[in-house]
Amino acid sequence: MNRIYFRNLSLVVVASLTLLAGVQCWWVTKMYHEQESDFERRVESAAYKSVYKSFRMDAIPGLVAAQRINIDLDDFALTFDPALLELDAMTVWQAEIIDRTMENRVVMRRRTEEELPHPRTTLIEIDDDGVFALRLTYARPVERFWGEMWVLLLSSVAIVVLLAVVLTHLVKTMMRQRTLEEMRRDFTHNITHELKTPLSVAVTATDALRNFSAEADVERRSRYLEIVENQLTQLSAMVERILSVSVEGREVSHNPTRFPLRELLEEVTVGIRMEQTADITLSCDEQLSLTADRFHLRNLLATLIDNALKYTDKRPQIHLSAKQQEESVVLTISDNGHGIAREHLEHLFEKFYRVPQGDVQSVRGYGLGLYYARQVAERHHGTLTVESRVGVGSTFTLKLPANG
């Protein structure tokens, strides 16, 4: 599943939602116009009925023409209002009698004092000769129309929103699955490279021992054996790290003991001071003690320090500090490395996640170190957070209960 596929899928989802919303709007508008047309038909039906009853009393529509026309809008009102009530079309209205032979001059008028909301005007012929006509203006109860349709409106909006939520969740899930698939693939590639490197070095050193008479040179043999030992130790640490982060769902073990914290911090940094060109400063009270799993806490600190050493183009400057804060112990590890962009911080502790570095992976890894560190912190009922600025550096803050 590539980027083009997901782009096209997103476009299809947006187009589908737009089309659905458009269909719903068209359907609701159509329903409204049907209600409006039905109301207008009922009003006009009541008007025609009232015209024949009050103005053309001796006429039969379509059969017998009126012999006598008596135009009186008061008589029309006495007939029209009951007709509206009968047809469930009661509304406010105004009427005018116009003379068609004199450029629609108004010859009789019946008006209300109030202004008609949403007015509609219809013209009804009174006599067969087309001399007089009734111009009827009435109010359309638009609010009532929408009030009768609120269930339809609410259901339409609910359907659109529900489908939008479902489709959005589906796309997000597929994107998450795609991201997880990419991270797993990168993990497999990186872990293969990481495991191959110490194996290759150990094999090369062993081959040198066997084929270049290194056993005759005690110093060279010791150096080769030390190389093999170091590489196998590194390989063992990698395997232990992978197992520790519970790739297969196992929890991080927890065996807390009481120990001086400064002693552990010096233990973690002493090897780095010997092997790396880095400035490491330590700030911790000699009397500060902590109840925690020493093994996993040591690995957590080593992971953070190792990242600080790897992700920098300058001489690494790392500062470790620890202090008592009420019932907790707060440890901070600050560096002057590359820093981490804001959009990556929320994913930094996810399993297999690595900050993208483009096509060049200058630092190898498998996206498990910080996940493991967060697991250790949570197993101690503590927290691990990070603050970072690109080009300035990062500060990791570990807060643990002092009494374990």
Work out how many domains the chain is built from and give that number: 3
- Which of 88, 113, 148 delimits the end of a domain? 148
Q: State residue 346's pLDDT score.
A: 84
pLDDT value for 249: 47
162 and 50 in a common domain? no
Residues 350, 356, 360, 362: is their CA dihedral positive or negative? negative
Q: 295, 392, 283, 270: which is closest to 336 by C-alpha?
A: 392
Which residues form the domain of 159? 150-244
Q: What is the structure's pLDDT at 350? A: 81
Q: Which of the listed residues 148, 183, 215 is the one where a domain comes to its end?
A: 148
Is 164 in contact with 172 (CB distance < 8 Å)?
no
Q: Which two tokens stand for residue 287?
A: 């009397």
Q: What does each of the 404 residues of the chain score in pLDDT, given as a tens digit?
A: 556 766 677 777 778 778 877 887 888 888 888 989 999 999 999 998 888 888 876 555 656 565 667 788 888 889 999 999 988 888 989 999 999 888 889 988 888 767 888 899 999 888 777 788 999 999 998 888 888 777 777 877 787 788 778 777 777 777 777 666 666 666 666 666 566 667 777 777 777 777 766 556 677 777 777 777 777 777 776 676 666 554 444 555 678 889 999 988 888 887 565 555 778 888 998 889 899 988 888 888 888 888 888 888 888 889 999 999 888 999 999 998 888 888 888 888 887 777 766 544 455 555 677 888 888 898 889 999 999 988 889 999 999 998 86
Residue owning tokens 């009186």 = 72
What DSSP line would sit under 165-195, residue for residue? HHHHHHHHHHHHHHHHHHHHHHHHHHHHHHH
Does a structural domain hold residue 23? yes
Residues 73 and 141 in one domain: yes
Pairing of strands 328-334, 393-401: antiparallel
Residues 123 and 42 in one domain: yes
- Tokens representing residue 362 in the block: 């200058």
CATH of the domain at 311: 3.30.565.10
Q: Which of 196, 216, 244 is a domain's end point?
A: 244
**Residue 96 placed within a domain:** yes
User: Both tokens of residue 399?
Assistant: 């807060």
In a domain? residue 102: yes
Judge if 65 and 127 occupy the same domain.
yes
Residue 134 and residue 164 in one domain = no
Same structural domain for residues 7 and 107?
Answer: yes
pTM for this prediction: 0.46
Write down how long the chain is. Answer: 404
- DSSP assignment string, 99-167: EGGGTSEEEEEE--SSPPSSEEEEEEE-STTS-EEEEEEEE--HHHHHHHTHHHHHHHHHHHHHHHHHH
Q: In the 8-state DSSP scheme, what is residue 216?
A: G
3-state secondary structure at position 73: helix
Domain at 235, CATH number: 1.10.287.130
In a domain, 298, yes or no: yes
**Is 124 a domain residue?**
yes
At 334 the three-state DSSP class reads: strand
Is residue 251 a part of any domain in this protein?
Answer: no
Q: Distance between CA 307 and CA 305 in Å, rounded?
A: 5
Instruction: For residues 371 and 330, state if they share a domain.
Output: yes
Does a structural domain hold residue 250?
no
Residues 202 and 266 in one domain: no
Shared domain for 132 and 156, answered yes or no, is no
Single-letter code of the amino acid located at 370: L
Task: Kindly give the interhelix angle for 218-244 and 369-379, rounded to the nearest 10 degrees.
Answer: 60
Same domain, 143 and 9: yes
Whether residues 269 and 395 fall in one domain: yes
- Asked whether 306 and 344 are in contact (CB, 8 A), the reply is no
Instruction: Check whether residue 216 and residue 301 sit in a common domain.
Output: no
Query: Is residue 63 situated within a structural domain?
Result: yes
